Amino acid sequence: MPSKLAIFDLDMTLVDSREDIAASVARALTMRCGLNLLIRDVFPFIGCGLVDTFRSLAPEADEENIRACVREYRRWFYDHCHDRSRLYEGVREGLAQLRSMGFLLAIATAKNKFMAYRVLGSFGLVDAFDIICGADELAPKPDPAIVQSVCKSAAIHPMESVMIGDTTMDVLAGQGAGAKTIAVTYGIGDEKELKALNPDFISLDFNSVLGVLFKLRKH
């Protein structure tokens, strides 16, 4: 059955945003909890959701301070989401190629929807996608609800869709919805953990993602 819908995670799948995310998290912890962390200390927690990230990095903070960290992060990151972030090589051209082949394109991200628009807008890519779905609308990955919702909005059966992401949460969400899955190893996810979930495909870079999608569109 040919694939018709490509559903992408955003951070570390299309955009290498790890430094801007980590710097914003570290700054919020300094401002609200008096903690001073190196940016690299935050990297392992990216993709876990803001509340869980701050709880993990500041285990002694109470819920009021955790909420304050989330607010501070969002306020700062909105204006600084493009300081050091960059598209992975081939993304802009690749999305255009997928569109020309008849793919519907979607985003399923752990970000709130307005921030997904903000990040995509900073690269001029909002119009590249038919559907943009954020974690503020549905249960976060690995729950399959966000993938199911995208498929429903596109009027595409999950079996005709592909979920592409860099974490086990992306793979599990795709599998739970009944979609094909492509795990990418160039993001922050652990390669061994990704392979242990037996995704349909493993891609080492974005160009190999495109190669898989081209084949799935034809078969």
Do the bridges between strand 180-184 and strand 15-16 make them parallel or antiparallel, or are there none, so unpaired?
unpaired
Nearest residue to 184 (alpha-carbon basis) of 49, 52, 42, 16: 16
Q: Which domains does the chain have, with CATH numbers?
A: 5-16+85-218 (3.40.50.1000), 18-80 (1.10.150.240)
| pLDDT tens string 2-56 | 789 999 999 999 999 999 999 999 999 999 999 999 999 999 888 778 899 999 9
Q: What is the pTM of this model?
A: 0.94
The catalytic residues are 9, 11
| pLDDT tens string 52-93 | 999 999 999 999 999 999 999 999 999 999 999 999 999 999
| pLDDT tens string 178-194 | 999 999 999 999 999 99
Query: Are the CB atoms for 14 and 8 separated by under 8 Å?
Result: yes
Q: Count Cβ neighbours within 10 Å for each residue of 1-21 and write b for 16 or more, e otherwise.
A: eebbbbbbbbbbbbbbbbbbb
